[in-house]
A and B are shown apart, each in its own frame.
Chain A
Amino acid sequence: MTSPADMRVYSGAAKNYSVADWAERQGYVIRFIHEPTRHQVEFPALISDFTDTHSPTFGQTHGANMHDPIITLTKTDREISFTMTVVNASIDEARYNTQCVNLLIQMLYPSVSEDGSFVGKPFINIHLMNFLEGAVAGNGITCVVSSLNYGVKFADGVINADEGDTTLNRSGKEIYPQSLEINISAKAVIAGDRVPDRANPLPENYPSYGSK
């Protein structure tokens, strides 16, 4: 049986030129785990536009001779979105990062049974340093990822394979952007904390943004 993939930040021959080296030293790493299969992949956390929105939904009941409604809290949703930049400093890193991004994209797909039905919903556990951290330090937050956008800005430059330089790009058809942006939108699934003596199922340190 195959083991789950464990793709860490790039550590190949050109690591010294890579942002991966700096990210690893700083601990600036974002990790994704596909929950049905436990495949995991990491990227240097070059994050922009991180937004974490907690939205309560209220029911309102209006009564006679009352100005203000009776408010009833129905639920609270947590939506997360962020943009991550993947930077390639060498063709070796570009190829490795392509495989990492491939795995991240594949995490949006479920486990399937032999008759083709979906058996493992594609929940993704995301750990983004102190911004997305579960109740237990080092664990991420289980998310329902609704969309992943992969964007290439060709004006930032591309990396071709060697063959593309010497012949008029019959480049083995390889093309890698020097940088690409990945935007992720997700809803958080809250891990309930059922301690017998405590009424509140929310973990005490939820949400944790690393203030302690």
Chain B
Amino acid sequence: MSEEIVAEADADVVEATQIPPLPSLSGNQGSVATPPTIRPIVVSTTVGRVGEALYPPLSIVEIPSELEGVQGAGIDLQFFMIPTTFNESFKSRWQSEDLSQGRINPIHNYGGTQREIALSFTLAALTVEEARSNLNICEILARTVYGRYRNIVTPASLTVAGRTDSIFAGHREFTIDFGSLIRNERSFINKFSFTANIDSGVFDYAEGNDTEVTHGKPGVALPREVNIDIGLTIVHYHLLGFGGKNRPNEPLRWAENKDRDWPHGAGSIALQTYMSISQEVNPLSLPRVLKSGDDDFYRPIRSADAVEEAYAAAVPGAIADRELAAQIAHEDAMDLAAGIAPTSFRPNPPEDYLVSESEP
């Protein structure tokens, strides 16, 4: 199938600026041809057209830094290529504790799951211009694994001359998209390597201007085929797992609640029920969990008066011990911080709270 397309691409080299539509590539022989598309001449002769016919483009867009003074324009790359391998690994972090000799199973503690992707692809060239374009893509991709820098300007004072310092501003982060396999995932690139396949040949120098198959700059070899490996570490900014705050009382549904398949797209078929969207929840309506460090961590959530009032309502005629009410209010706050139901939420007050019905 691919050979047919390459043969056709070879046949209509150079002159045509109107590209005929590609033949149908699957069993769908009755499909309607699209009208001719106007494209630059190089595109009409490109092997990359095979990639364009079969695969979606690879898009790598740098997320702008939040820091001021970061130098250089962000990387924004979208190109067609011929993928060779796509490997995605999901690694769970488990720690096992061996408790005692002879115990059949250790205790397994789960810490999280990481996702990494390794993608290999080929950039091929039928023309000098395309070979240059491929090398340019390699240059840009190589820069993705280097850090960013920013300038800090120190203004001149009476005693010190003004100066500009360059400070490291951390790694670059990207939004990466590759069809239904990588879907606008936020990630950083942890590997880039490219191999020029010299066995496939290079475009040689010939005196004069560039032609389709020779170039006019001595000392430059333009490879016809370049193989590239990149590695991605995906950083998820949405919830992963089942249940969670976006799915209150729905512990079996996927946490993201975005009405889409994850991690890979499955086209137009209906979502499984556990993936489909359920009602959006206002986070402010969810119960808040106090954590140490919060301003109100040790502050009672109810005043002693409120506790007294609640218990008086629960047990008519009971007369409260004010000191004990204050203590219960404090314990409520501690209970809530520990994630258990506070005492004052229990239906009946503790017995020692009821002092005496005869006491004034």
Of B37, B105, B242, B266, the residue contacting A102 (CB under 8 A) is: B266
| A73 neighbours in B (Cβ, 8 Å) | 102
Q: Say yes or no: is B40 at the interface (Cβ < 8 Å to chain A).
A: no
A-B contact count (CB 8 A): 222
Q: Are B87's CB and A149's CB within 8 A?
A: yes
Find residues 96-153 in chain A having any chain B CB closer than 8 Å to their own CB.
96, 98-99, 101-103, 105-106, 108-116, 118-123, 144-153
**Known interface pairs A2-B273, A160-B26, A166-B34; A175-B56 also in contact (CB < 8 Å):** yes
Q: Are A112's CB and B56's CB within 8 A?
A: no
Q: 0/1 per residue, A177-212, Cβ < 8 Å to B?
A: 100000000010110100000000110000000000
| B91 neighbours in A (Cβ, 8 Å) | 146-147
Q: Are A169's CB and B53's CB within 8 A?
A: yes
| A1 neighbours in B (Cβ, 8 Å) | 249-250, 252
Q: Say yes or no: is A167 at the interface (Cβ < 8 Å to chain B).
A: yes
Find residues 56-109 in chain B having any chain A CB closer than 8 Å to their own CB.
56, 82-92, 94, 96, 98, 101-106, 108-109
**Known interface pairs A37-B252, A99-B269, A158-B54; A110-B262 also in contact (CB < 8 Å):** no
| A36 neighbours in B (Cβ, 8 Å) | 242
Closest to B246 in A: A114
Q: Are A148's CB and B90's CB within 8 A?
A: yes
Chain B interface: which size bin? 35 or more
| A119 neighbours in B (Cβ, 8 Å) | 243
Q: Are B244's CB and A149's CB within 8 A?
A: no
Interface-facing stretch out of B17-25, B131-139, B219-227, B345-353? B17-25
Of A98, A112, A160, A173, the residue contacting B242 (CB under 8 A) is: A112
Bound complex: CA A200 to CA B83 (Å): 54
Chain A interface: which size bin? 35 or more
Q: Are B86's CB and A99's CB within 8 A?
A: no
| A92 neighbours in B (Cβ, 8 Å) | 269
Of B177, B262, B269, B274, the residue contacting A95 (CB under 8 A) is: B269
Q: Say yes or no: is B218 at the interface (Cβ < 8 Å to chain A).
A: no
| B103 neighbours in A (Cβ, 8 Å) | 75
Q: Say yes or no: is A155 at the interface (Cβ < 8 Å to chain B).
A: yes
Q: Say yes or no: is A168 at the interface (Cβ < 8 Å to chain B).
A: yes
Closest to B83 in A: A154
Q: Are A168's CB and B241's CB within 8 A?
A: no
| B243 neighbours in A (Cβ, 8 Å) | 111-114, 119
Of A116, A161, A168, the residue contacting B52 (CB under 8 A) is: A168
Q: Are A165's CB and B31's CB within 8 A?
A: yes
Q: Are B266's CB and A37's CB within 8 A?
A: no
**Known interface pairs A98-B264, A105-B263, A168-B49; A158-B55 also in contact (CB < 8 Å):** yes
Bound complex: CA A160 to CA B265 (Å): 13
| B313 neighbours in A (Cβ, 8 Å) | none
**Known interface pairs A99-B269, A108-B92, A167-B34; A152-B180 also in contact (CB < 8 Å):** no
Bound complex: CA A73 to CA B180 (Å): 50
What is the predominant secondary structure among interface residues of chain A facing chain B? Answer: mixed
Bound complex: CA A121 to CA B110 (Å): 6
Interface-facing stretch out of A3-11, A20-28, A47-55, A60-68? A3-11
Q: Say yes or no: is B240 at the interface (Cβ < 8 Å to chain A).
A: yes
Q: Say yes or no: is B330 at the interface (Cβ < 8 Å to chain A).
A: no
| A164 neighbours in B (Cβ, 8 Å) | 25, 53-54
Q: Say yes or no: is A15 at the interface (Cβ < 8 Å to chain B).
A: no
Q: Are B262's CB and A102's CB within 8 A?
A: yes
| A120 neighbours in B (Cβ, 8 Å) | 242
Q: Are B90's CB and A105's CB within 8 A?
A: yes
Of A102, A118, A161, the residue contacting B263 (CB under 8 A) is: A102
Q: Say yes or no: is B159 at the interface (Cβ < 8 Å to chain A).
A: no
**Known interface pairs A189-B108, A201-B104, A202-B104; A169-B54 also in contact (CB < 8 Å):** yes
Q: Are A150's CB and B26's CB within 8 A?
A: no
| B181 neighbours in A (Cβ, 8 Å) | 152, 175
Q: 0/1 per residue, A61-95, Cβ < 8 Å to B?
A: 00000000000111100000000000000011001
| A146 neighbours in B (Cβ, 8 Å) | 91-92, 94
User: In the complex, what's the smallest C-beta–C-beta distance from B182 to chain A, in angstroms?
Assistant: 10
10 A-B contact pairs sorted by A residue (CB < 8 Å) = A4-B274, A144-B94, A146-B91, A158-B54, A162-B26, A162-B28, A164-B25, A166-B28, A173-B56, A177-B86
Which B residues are within 8 Å of any A CB, using their own CB? 1, 21-22, 24-26, 28, 31-34, 37, 49, 52-56, 82-92, 94, 96, 98, 101-106, 108-110, 112-113, 177, 179-181, 239-245, 248-255, 261-269, 271-274, 286-287, 289
